Amino acid sequence: MTATISVNGSSADYPVHAGSVGPEVIDIRKLYGNTGRFTYDPGFTSTASCESKITYIDGDQGVLLHRGYPIEQLAEQSSFLEVAYLLLNGDLPNQQEHDEFKYLITRHTMVHEQLATFYRGFRRDAHPMAIMCGVVGALSAFYHDSTDIHDPKQRTIACHRLIAKMPTIAAMAYKYSVGQPFLYPDNSLSYTGNFLRMTFGVPAEPYVINPVVEDALDKIFILHADHEQNASTSTVRLAGSSGANPFACIAAGIACLWGPAHGGANEAALEMLREIGRPERIPEYVARAKNKDDPFRLMGFGHRVYKNYDPRAKVLGAAATKVLDTLGISDPVLDTARELERVALSDDYFIEKKLYPNVDFYSGIILSAIGFPTSMFTALFALARTTGWIAQWTEMMEDQDQKIGRPRQLYTGHGPRDYVPLAQRG
Ligand code: CMC
């Protein structure tokens, strides 16, 4: 199939590629050569930037698949490490592959001892995401034997290192902020159990893992593991397209994730719910969100791709109730969230604009119940998303069509003009 594009009466045909599911794409690579024109699509609302086999989203139906598996099934039945294997390798592991992968990851959980001194250069009140950007970028200065991007073996080791070290790095960021000693990883624990211990344990006594908390956090990690070509993943791919090493690329992804329109929304959503405080104040905030002259938005609501319920929010909404019940926590924020969801979903503004709760709406309530400060929320998102980022980076490195990413622009600045020496300028 082809699509015909006419510009000023001259037409040319362009190939149309069909994916396995989802919309077809018009291949416009020859458009500039044929017409001397670029396409204009700020925010990439109609542009596929790459071919990928990892994650599929149907935003109208609220469907999210990783390598074909629905996110609900993975969240219910799988583990984060298994999902990491799936994203990286394309299929679920058998028992032996699973055990080998777990062994490989746990053998990389420690960080170079010298890296700990990096933390001491930060202020104690530094935001964990500021620390994560710096420390993850610095990994490339420590692991020279896995920065040759042209060597598939080194690429694989870099993937394993990043997945394995992120919990250690995030836990160290937390420990540094509360002034407690860093804890070394315990490889006898699960991926998530080890992270909980490094975060909340102290050297003075054994740390007892609550299986409900471990399970809930593992689910949160699964739900954040990958999400197709979102802003931070596209950032990782763009950084990687120039040949930058994987540690530098993931640091770039972390920087992008930090923004409140992206991963920073989980922190902003809980702060908003706390500010609302009680269900009676909801109409005031909904009115603000609808007011064009007020920049306020309902955080944790709306999504570029989902024009239906975000399937991740559904899983987390149910998990929030379970975790709070099990921990015996009665948090009025959960009641406020449920009521806000009810009010927004029956309001014409939100219905017309198809704004539904997204993954960030309920995750903060669970993370807060577990004991994480809001400043750690986006760092946890980064920890989990590293798996998706590195799987997408690997896929790009193996893609024969891969080129340096170089968007063009619609230039609206000055035309050519002559330089005027400073003394002659009015
Ligand atoms: N509250 C009120 N109005 C909203 C909201 C919201 N949360 N989100 C979108 N709108 C309105 C927006 O004002 C616009 O109205 P109009 O057409 O009259 O100008 C319309 O809906 C479309 O919004 P948009 O900003 O053009 O849509 P987008 O696809 O560029 O943005 C978004 C998507 C996620 C950035 C946006 O919905 C938003 O800012 N949400 C709040 C932040 C948030 O929860 N982000 C987390 C996203 S999911 C996790 C992740 O990606 O990390």
pLDDT digits 0-9 by tens, 144-160: 998 999 999 999 999 99
CA–CA gap between residue 249 and residue 266 (Å, rounded): 23
- pLDDT, mean of residues 5-15: 94
Distances from the Cα of 419 to the Cα of 101, 413, 416, 422, 424, angstroms: 62, 16, 10, 9, 10
Ligand 1 pocket member 287 (CB < 6 A): no
Answer whether residue 401 shows pLDDT above 90: no
Percent of the chain past pLDDT 70, that is, above it, reads 100
Q: Is 66 a catalytic residue?
A: no
Catalytic residue among 360, 399, 401, 418: 360
pLDDT at 322: 86
pLDDT tens digits for range 292-351: 999 999 999 999 999 998 999 999 988 888 888 888 988 889 889 999 999 999 999 999
Structure tokens given for 114? 């010298």
Nearest to 149 by CA among 55, 62, 246: 246
Ligand 1 centroid to 363 CA: how many Å? 18
Structure tokens given for 170? 């995030």
Structure tokens given for 210? 């609550």
Which residue CA neighbors atom 50 of ligand 1 most closely? 262
CA–CA gap between residue 163 and residue 378 (Å, rounded): 16
Percent of the chain past pLDDT 90, that is, above it, reads 90
Ligand 1 pocket member 140 (CB < 6 A): no
Sign for the CA dihedral angle at 158, 388, 26, 304 comes to negative
Max mean pLDDT range (86-95, 295-304, 342-351, 356-365)? 86-95
Which residue CA neighbors atom 52 of ligand 1 most closely? 262
Question: CA triplet 218, 309, 270: central angle to 5 degrees?
Answer: 60
Answer whether residue 378 shows pLDDT above 90: yes
8-state DSSP, 205 = B
Q: Is 303 a catalytic residue?
A: yes
pLDDT at 162: 98
8-state DSSP, 243 = T
Ligand 1 pocket member 298 (CB < 6 A): yes
CA–CA gap between residue 233 and residue 416 (Å, rounded): 37
Which of ligand 1's atoms lies nearest the C-alpha of 358? 48
Please give the model's pTM, rounded to 2 decimal places: 0.94
Nearest to 168 by CA among 400, 392, 316, 379: 379
- pLDDT, mean of residues 386-392: 98
**Which range is least confidently modeled, 130-139, 248-257, 264-273, 383-392?**
264-273
Return mean pLDDT, the chain. Answer: 95
| Rg, the chain, Cα only | 23
